[in-house]
Structure 1
Amino acid sequence: MIRENMGGTNLLDALLRPRSIAILGASDDPTRIGGRPLAYLKAAGYAGRIFPVNPKRETVQGLPAWPSIDAVPESVEFAILAVPAALIIEAARACGERGVKACVVFSAGFAEAGPEGEARQAELLAVARTYGMRIVGPNCLGLFNATDGFYPVFSTSLDRGLPPKGRLSIVSQSGAFGTHLYWLAKERGLGMRYFISTGNECDVHVAECLRALAEDPGTGVIMAYLESAKDGPMLVEALETARRNGKPVAIMKVGRSEVGAEAARSHTAALAGADAAYDAVLRQYGAVRARTTEELVDIAHICSHGVFPRGDRIGLVSISGGIGVLMADAASDAGLDVAPMPEATQARLKEALPFASPRNPVDITAQAFNDFGLVESNLKLMAEEGGYDGIVVGFSSVAGSPVFAEPLLAALGNVRRSHPETLLIHSCLVPDALRLRFEAAGVPVFPDPSHAVEAFAAAARFGRAFAREERPAPVLPAPADIPRRPLGEHEAKRLLAEAGVPVPAERLTGSAGEAVEAFRAMGGRKVVMKLVSPDIPHKTEIGGVLLSLADEEAVRAGYATLVERAALHAPQARLDGILVTPMLEGGVEMIMGVQVDPVFGPLVMLGLGGVFVEVMKDVTLRLAPFGEEEAMAMIGELRGRALLEGARGQAPADVAALAKALAALSRFAAANAGAIESVDVNPFRVLPKGQGAVALDALVVPRRS
């Protein structure tokens, strides 16, 4: 019997909402791996049918036991395989024969255990495919559905009580770390919907689960832990589905890897390594990446309140000038706008609190002790007249005082209710019971003021992503005819020019006389001369570029010099000729490139040239293809973008031309992803505004096989 694998909602039905479950390897001891799921299912009051399978017992934990799944008299939709690895294939095949829709395999000893284990895991997947049965694992801690009391999991974190029901769902490649996240979220007061640990991912993987959760009406916030993606395009689809549905995905991607020595020969490859690729894709498709466990939980915490500002203007209020400065620093680090209050509003605040600092941060000082009603009125003024997308209030330990706790709770609750669109966050030190009351009033609490500000920044990133209008996919050109051999600069530029990337008017010459003719044709202006050889990709290393040649004699001598240097330093190299091109000066030097990532496909890189890319690595990345609007967003992310805007008295650069070229490069990359390994356009000169931009050098590396 063969059934098609299910996806989306059907996947969640099979994995987390079955009406019956068999436990192969069920134990009467509720502390053992095969006994824990049964104990949790009973404690949660799971409404479906439970069938312990154990040939050595007639009952298991008070329920009738069956010698094999074949002997179970009713249909079984889900099975736990908690038997030794050597018995898993036979057990999985028996489940398939019984029409089981999905299994979770606890057992280790598969791909993580070497070649023999890899073969066993491949066989397990083959069995699953034969019967159309989904497999979670192997080497997997399990999963659970807190809403329905379904607990095929053996985590000891549940020994301290089953999770409260809620709208947070977690998917993790690591079971132990996933339950670590669950417990931290529970301590914050977050209720659970689903938990899925994917283990070795022989079949079900994180991206597929993310896609299903993005479509699940009962999931409001998604937290994920990822070491690597089995299916890059599906991960992109999952993130875009979540963004479109307004569901925040907070994700921790670990396992940074170094780019290999071969790839390091390309600027783009060295700067667009594996971790940079994930970082770019997560940002591009609306997820927020956390670097630490606490940050990951902070993001889920703030998102659970469901307020996602569309802007980054933040108001800061504190009862301590020091806390205000700390929060302002954190806001600056996060790229937020700490705009001052309007002058008229500052005047009214000053009138009510003469010793306060009303600008932003607003320091209300200890005067608030005499009249806590001023806190509410001042916050409402900020919300109504300050134009802030969110306000962070820092009251430290004052908020926990028996004298001030109730009036402060009332004040913040009133502001939250009267301005539901403004994200109001409280940084304070209070007992858990009081913290939960602030949270219930819609005011998330963070003990650390900096973390409170960073949480606002994450919520605002989601808000901007959710508000982004759908952009039609760029129309791709027909694939270029790219030969499977090394290409010289002239040939590379021709391919890019046909794709819409501007290149200078230049000539490839085969003699000194032709070079002089090219010089004359260019009006006798200064020219650059370059060696062109598919075997010499880095010409400058052998002196293969001559600049500022201003007369015919210099051009003639330059031709001879370049041919000489090629013969001296690369005698076996094929020489296509000498390129003569106008000498362009002024503008801003950039670098653009493409690296075809093995997981996601072609990634386009943009950076400021020279020291910015070599030392500071001031670059940004996007998955191709994209349009000019996204290209403009890339330009805006560069730390050194002020150079393009006309820093130090220089004329503003033609940013529109840069965006147009970058979008064209992305379309070329997407159309030819199967034929290229990388592209380097370095330098790419952006001329003053209105004068365009041009690729001064280019390298296209075709795919070798």
Structure 2
Amino acid sequence: MSLAQALLNPRRIALIGASADEQRLTARPQRYLRRHGFTGELFPMNPRAESVLGERAFASLADIPGEIDFAYILLGTDNVEAQVVACAARGIPVACVLADGFAEAGPEGAALQARVLAAAQGSGMRVLGPNSMGIVNLNARTALTTNAALEAEDLPAGRVALVSQSGSMMGALLSRGAARGLGFSHLIGTGNEADLTAGEIASLLLDDPDVDAVALFLEAIRAPEQMAAAAAKARELRKPIIALKLGRSPFGAELATSHTGALAGSDAAADAFFRAHGILRVSMLESLLELPLLVAGRRAPAHSHRAVSVMTTTGGGGALAVDALGVLGIEARKPDAKAAAKLEAAKFGTHARLLDLTLAGARPDRVMAALDALRAAEDTDLVLAVIGSSAQFRPKDAVAGIVEGTKIPGKPVAAFLAPQAEASLRLLAEAGIAAFRTAESAADCINAYCAWQAPRDGIETAPPAIPLPARPDEADARGVFAALGLDSPFAVMQDTPPEGLRYPVALKILSPDLAHKTEVGGVALNIADAAALRDAAASMRARVTAAAPQAKITGLLVQPMAKGLAEAILGFRRDPEVGPVVLLGAGGVLSELHRDIALRLAPVDLETAREMIAEVRALKPLSGWRNLPLGDLEALAQAVVAASRLAGVEQVAEAEINPLIVGRPGEGVTVADAWVVLR
């Protein structure tokens, strides 16, 4: 039996620890399976009962006849390991573990999780969880879960599959979707992902002909290579992957880590990962329901204008949508010449950012004409139709123009319904049209669509050979960057100034223990001559020794004073979730405060490096903004590419140039300070 069949559509299921008390949590899977029409065979395992909820019970796995596709282990943490061993011995393809208390509970739990996984791997059995609320396959009527949302009498099936590391969010999304006629094809709770990960399961779901898109609720990115492979398949099949990932705030990251036992990386790195692999990222729960209809069957646009056309039958609602979009940097754009010509031909009298049909109302013929005109614009990504009170009181009339208008192929169309209008939402969903309940979720989804990019081809780089001591200081770090092509003049001294220096110079303490030299008095600037340098060196040694007596001092570094137009920070890091990333931001001592950065997976090409430069607000003046002097942005882009090649230098965990001084065109960039951390 294939993994997809055993995991997503099992027909013979063992419920290990099934309760005969239907009020207990461990009775739910059996109740839900039968309530929602599962037609396969169930084998409740309970050594203290002859029958469980009217079905024959079994004392052990050995007593169950024939093959078993899937075992759901409903027992407490202390009993899980023995049952996994028994399942593996029985040759069961997939076992799901409900209990918590594993990697998320600390070292002992992590050790138990490792033993459980080792027991399964010995037989080739796959494990879902621990801490998993199971699987739901709405098309096969398989409600194999403990989630209380399955108490509902009716569960609408849909064409979006949900993979969630949080079991409770499975139920939240299922119930929210059902309330507006949006169903799911599958809901899979992955929990700790000791074995089966969200990426691997997403890949299996994409192969299902009844799945048009996959939604992910993530607390951490595990096995990024599996997620990347799923994203590549999604692009090939035109079945987008949409992700909502926690961890945007330090508090959210802390909770996500403690909940699943994952080692969390930075949110900016996660964002870079999604961008690099063509995964659409949203920030609102509602968006996981609303965005799939906008993107299903599509690929990322070749070029994004980050602009939309907006038509409305409610002035206030339309203005609300325009404002929410603008906050996220999406422009509601005036009709271009092509769209304006069509609007004039249809006798629409306005060419403003908002095509206001308030007086005409939602008459289907007028809405269709407006949509046709606005879809003709060549400088927008989609059309947003905002509908007012008619959506609540005359649903069929209110959305008829949108439904009929979108039957003609063309630019995507979405709708925001200002009132509470469940009937209209259902009608739009049935027509396959993305519809939003709030202006904020509309903006969130449209922002994700406009940011959607096709993955770029991988960059092959030959890693440079860079010998490094076990504890590198700044001189060693500069050697690393010099090997990458970022070489700026410096010299190392002990007490006697080297010959041939170009004064004035800067002097810095050299130590593998001092990443922030300024804080211990380890930096002196604008030293005018050799005599002053000798005195400064002696004073600095004494000052640093007093401030940091445990630090190993390897010497002093001397470099010419450098001037430029701007300072940048250029960094490299191996993120614990997604791997190598390169960072560019506003440099200097305030870089950590401002957090004005751009970040990508490493390595990058020149085109990507130029995009990163354009994202950093502090570097905008270097482009000639308001007639300010131009900076050597091409040299800066080449520096970003060079630093990103550290992805191929396995011994480097982190590296940074801060500041990197950017000169005028032709002057290049200067390494003012460098640091490297080994793995």
Within a 5 Å distance, the mapping from 1:435-454 to structure 2 comes to 435-454=425-444
Structure 2 residue matching 1:35: 3-state secondary structure: helix
Distance 1:622 1:179 in 2: 34
Give the superposition deviation at 1:181: 1.8
Distance 1:588 1:444 in 2: 45
Q: Is the 8 A contact 2:265 2:576 kept in 1?
A: no
1:549-602 Cα offsets, whole Å, 9 max, x none, are: 56xxx3432332233222333266666555443433232211111233333333
1:280-303 Cα offsets, whole Å, 9 max, x none, are: 323333333333323443334544
Given candidates 620, 627, 634, the residue that maps to 1:642 is 620
- Correspondence 1:187 to 2:179: yes
Q: Is the 8 A contact 2:294 2:414 kept in 1?
A: no
Q: Is the 8 A contact 1:281 1:622 kept in 2?
A: yes
Distance 2:408 2:67 in 1: 54
1:421-461 Cα offsets, whole Å, 9 max, x none, are: 33333434364233322333343222323432332222233
Who is 1:360 aligned against? 353
Distance 2:373 2:156 in 1: 37
Gaps of 5+ in 2: 254-263
1:388-432 Cα offsets, whole Å, 9 max, x none, are: 321111122133343xx5444332223212243333334343642
Distance 2:598 2:553 in 1: 35
Higher deviation after alignment, 105-114 or 14-23: 105-114
Instruction: Note closer, same or farther for the CA distance 1:372–1:79 as it changes in structure 2 (3 Å cut).
Output: closer
Who is 1:569 aligned against? 544
Q: Is the 8 A contact 1:309 1:422 kept in 2?
A: no
Given candidates 668, 676, 680, the residue that maps to 2:656 is 680
Distance 1:427 1:307 in 2: 26
Within a 5 Å distance, the mapping from 1:538-557 to structure 2 comes to 538-548=516-526, 554-557=529-532
Q: Is the 8 A contact 1:681 1:696 kept in 2?
A: yes
Given candidates 10, 26, 31, the residue that maps to 2:18 is 26
Who is 1:503 aligned against? 487
Higher deviation after alignment, 89-98 or 128-137: 89-98
Aligned-pair identity (%): 32
Gaps of 5+ in 1: 1-5, 261-271, 520-524
- Correspondence 1:693 to 2:669: yes
Give the superposition deviation at 1:94: 2.8
Given candidates 554, 559, 567, the residue that maps to 1:581 is 559
Instruction: Note closer, same or farther for the CA distance 1:214–1:479 as it changes in structure 2 (3 Å cut).
Output: farther
Instruction: Note closer, same or farther for the CA distance 1:545–1:314 as it changes in structure 2 (3 Å cut).
Output: same
1:440-485 Cα offsets, whole Å, 9 max, x none, are: 33432223234323322222333xx2x34x4132213144211101
Within a 5 Å distance, the mapping from 1:35-434 to structure 2 comes to 35-108=27-100, 110=102, 120-243=112-235, 245-255=237-247, 256-257=249-250, 274-300=266-292, 302-303=294-295, 309-310=301-302, 311=304, 312-342=306-336, 345-346=339-340, 349=343, 356-368=349-361, 373-385=365-377, 387-402=379-394, 405-429=395-419, 431-434=421-424
Q: Is the 8 A contact 2:161 2:215 kept in 1?
A: yes
Q: Is the 8 A contact 2:495 2:538 kept in 1?
A: no
Structure 1 residue matching 2:670: 3-state secondary structure: strand
Q: Is the 8 A contact 1:257 1:274 kept in 2?
A: no
Structure 1 residue matching 2:143: 3-state secondary structure: coil
Aligned residues: 663
Give the superposition deviation at 1:230: 4.2
1:40-86 Cα offsets, whole Å, 9 max, x none, are: 33344434333333344444444443333212221212122234444
Instruction: Note closer, same or farther for the CA distance 1:64–1:344 as it changes in structure 2 (3 Å cut).
Output: closer
Instruction: Note closer, same or farther for the CA distance 1:639–1:237 as it changes in structure 2 (3 Å cut).
Output: farther
Who is 1:518 aligned against? 501
Distance 2:555 2:318 in 1: 65
Give the superposition deviation at 1:138: 3.2
Higher deviation after alignment, 599-608 or 307-316: 307-316
Distance 1:120 1:530 in 2: 49
- Correspondence 1:671 to 2:648: yes
Distance 2:346 2:112 in 1: 74
Give the superposition deviation at 1:257: 4.1
Q: Is the 8 A contact 2:396 2:424 kept in 1?
A: no
- Correspondence 1:490 to 2:475: yes
Distance 1:680 1:660 in 2: 15
Who is 1:558 aligned against? 533
Give the superposition deviation at 1:305: 7.7
Instruction: Note closer, same or farther for the CA distance 1:638–1:179 as it changes in structure 2 (3 Å cut).
Output: same
Instruction: Note closer, same or farther for the CA distance 1:336–1:70 as it changes in structure 2 (3 Å cut).
Output: same
Distance 2:197 2:397 in 1: 49
Q: Which amino acid aligns with 2:678?
A: P
Q: Is the 8 A contact 1:134 1:203 kept in 2?
A: yes
